[in-house]
Amino acid sequence: MAIFLTADSRVLVQGMTGSEGSKHTARMLAAGTNIVGGVNPRKAGASVDFSGTQVPVFGSVADGMKATGADVSVIFVPPRFTKDAVIEAIDAGIG
């Protein structure tokens, strides 16, 4: 399966505030990916600074989609939370 991003893709990062999520978010931003927000229920309402780029954190994928128009999700969560993260994105109706 191939996944294609376009210049118009708006990406939410589930698990952005964790070690892997923050590392890969910084790399994606440096590569020009349009990261519009992160998802972490415990850190909702905060924002994370990535070299001068402030990225808001939402409590759920649905909240992030509503606030930003996100249409793509990428997941960086511990293995035991992966299934729940995938189901959350599907339930929110992300493309």
Answer whether residue 3 is part of any domain.
Answer: no
- As for how many domains the chain has, the answer is 1
Beta strands 47-50 and 53-58: pairing type? antiparallel
Quote the CA–CA distance of 25 and 28 in Å, as a whole number.
5
pTM for the full model? 0.93
CATH of the domain at 33: 3.40.50.720
Query: Considering the chain, what percentage of its residues have pLDDT values greater than 70?
Result: 97
CA distance 61 to 57: 10
Query: Is 35 part of a structural domain of the chain?
Result: yes
* Tokens 């909240």 -> residue: 63
Enclosing domain of residue 20? 11-92
User: Which one, of 34, 80, 37, 28, lies nearest residue 60 by Cα?
Assistant: 37
pLDDT digit string, tens, across residues 62-95: 999 999 999 999 999 999 999 999 999 999 999 8
Judge whether residue 7 has pLDDT over 90. Answer: no
Which of the four pLDDT bands, split at 50, 70 and 90, describes residue 23? very high
Does 6 map to a domain?
Answer: no
Q: Which residues of 45-55 are buried (b: 16+ CB within 10 A; e: fewer)?
A: eeebebeeeeb
Domain assignment present for residue 2? The answer is: no
The reply to whether 16 falls in a domain is: yes
